[in-house]
Amino acid sequence: MKLQASVGLVLIGLSLGPRAPAAPGPATQKSTPEVVEVRREEQWVFPVEELRRRGCDVPDLPRDQNAFWTMLEAVNAYREPPDELRQVFDYAADIAWPAEHDAALRAYVLDPANQTAVAAARRAATMDRCQMVFLTGPNDSLISVLVPDLKHFRAVCKLLIVDGRRLETDGQYGAAMEDYAAVLGFARHLGTGPSFLHGLFAQAVWGQGIRTICTMVLRRDLPADDLRRVHQALAGLTGQLPTLKRGLESERAMYLSIADDLVVRPTRLPDVIGRLGRPWESPDEMSSRFGVPDSGWARLETCLGRLLLPDRTAKRQIHRYFDPLVEAAGEPYHSPAWQRASSGCEEEPFPTWNVVGIMLSGSPWRGLALGKRVHAETRLTQIVVALRLHALEHSGQWPESLVALMPSISKEDIIDPFSGREFVYRRDGTGWTLYSISENETDDGGKSPSFGSWKVDFVLQLPMPAPRPFEPRPKFNMMEDARRFIEESRQ
């Protein structure tokens, strides 16, 4: 402990001391990043070579075959809802089409800019291949690759859902399903990104899309042809449900490479983090900011850094943290890999001295749990469609058990990821109840506080409960809320 404290004092001195000037050398060519426009703002394309150098698997994909650029067309085309429609728009995306605001919301959705965005999103979703391109500012770091800004892609997905709700209201169920399938296609493409958050975001978008499909099938009496189209679309898409495996692998590789950088130059932590995002910088420019890498001061700094931050031990701990998660992300639920990952995440993964691990680690286990939910919702939606088709083909009669739905769906599709057994299904008069035992892994008899809740059982019912009506939320007023809080505290 005394040795680490002494080394730390020396490193502080080095960080405050003078840097060795860069040795003069021949002029070098500075690489120029590609600039693209996103919502009328210029952003730089982060070089693929830098991601590959740090161990990320980034395939070569011709621009005309990469769905990302068509997705970007949709992002740049859509028009944000005006303030007076924002809550109405969110309600339509999350709950149902608000009949009392039909005219205003319909005019917004049918705006030519938004219909251009919808058409581009549909085209992108049908493309076979995608490699999400990371867009950054000139001073962003590699750390920002791990926290991408994906809000514009989410906005397009919400627009697709709202447009689909409009089509549902008009009885155009096949066209509505095209919008909802495009949401799933968007999610599949988002999952090709080079970070854990890309995968997590992709799963959240997929969950919203699959939930919307399920709601349409429960609320609407779809004709047999439309139901079959929904069934076929889900059969073609469910095998493409995004996972977190690729993002976890990429993040593990990035963390290991960042650990190397920070161990070599521990006193330059802010500069090192900044440099990671400037691979287009010329060697002379880099040297002018960092000093000569082979100078005596730099070599001393590296030696002392390895004493303070043992790189092999730090990287071994990063492996110990990520390896079980990567393995679990690629395995079926309830496999031994899941049990190992779950038990490992209950422990503190990094000691206090491992600043690399503490700084970079998040909560991947929660992401894996979200994937489990989305997987369950996808299977439940397939079952709901199969139940509806069964009733149409058997004079309105519901099956006695889920097994009777085969071969319309497979044996695997009726298994609850949270229990490893069949989803619970029972007929209730003229309808039925279908549920997953959810995250507490306890059968609570089909009790659920609300539709879509995972706190107890996740329950689907036919007839489906009516959606809650639209109620505008009061505008946030910090001063008024503070005044009310003080008055209530005095009483």
Output DSSP code: residue 41. E
Q: Is the pLDDT of residue 299 over 70?
A: no
As a whole number of angstroms, the distance between CA 234 and CA 103 comes to: 32
As a whole number of angstroms, the distance between CA 392 and CA 390 comes to: 5
| pLDDT value at residue 316 | 80
Q: Indicate yes or no: pTM above 0.85.
A: no
Inter-CA distances, 273 with 141, 294, 309, Å: 6, 20, 16
Q: Give residue-wise pLDDT tens across range 374-392.
A: 889 999 999 999 999 999 9
| DSSP three-state, residue 140 | coil
Q: Is the pLDDT of residue 133 over 70?
A: yes
As a whole number of angstroms, the distance between CA 350 and CA 318 comes to: 8
What average pLDDT does the structure give for the chain? 78
CB atoms within 10 A of CB 242: 26
The whole-number average pLDDT for the span 316-338 is 75
Q: Give residue-wise pLDDT tens across range 69-110.
A: 999 999 999 999 999 999 999 999 999 999 999 999 999 999
Q: Angle at which helices 364-393 and 311-329 pack, to 10 degrees?
A: 10
| pLDDT value at residue 322 | 81
Closest of 228, 211, 311, 226 to residue 266, by C-alpha: 311
| Most trustworthy range by pLDDT among 30-44, 212-226, 299-313, 325-339 | 212-226
